[in-house]
Structure 1
Amino acid sequence: MNQAVRKEVLKQLESLFTDFCEGCFIQRQLRKEGGKRLAHRFCISQCTVGEKIKEYGKKLGNTI
């Protein structure tokens, strides 16, 4: 993956975080009730935005 594509993927990731993850009510509530670990597990395994973030992470992981 060339540098321009990598920058674009990182830009898309940042956009996802700012648009959906920052201030997420579900994440905030899960952190209060069960801590960081529960909230993180939800984001990775059940949240559709988390699924998309994992896809982008795999793309970036293939470049290293």
Structure 2
Amino acid sequence: MKPSVRKELLSQVEGLMNQYCNGCFLNKYLKKADGRRAAHRFCISQCTVGEQLRDYGKKLK
């Protein structure tokens, strides 16, 4: 993969995280109620933004 393409993908990932994940009330609630692992599991497996992040991760491989 070209470095410029990789840089663009990483920039898109960072933009998604900054826009949706930082300050996510659902993540904060789940951390408080069920713990950090449960909140992370939800974000990775059920959140729509998490699905997009997984797709970017597959492209980065």
TM-score relative to the length of structure 1 = 0.92
Once residues 36 and 57 of structure 1 are traced to their aligned partners in structure 2, the CA distance between those partners, rounded to angstroms, is 21
Aligned-partner SS, 1:23: coil
Task: Say how many residue pairs are matched.
Answer: 61
Listed as ranges, the gaps of 5+ residues in structure 2 are: none
User: Percent identical across equivalent pairs?
Assistant: 57
Partner residue in 2 for 1:60: 60
Once residues 31 and 40 of structure 1 are traced to their aligned partners in structure 2, the CA distance between those partners, rounded to angstroms, is 8
Listed as ranges, the gaps of 5+ residues in structure 1 are: none
Partner residue in 1 for 2:27: 27
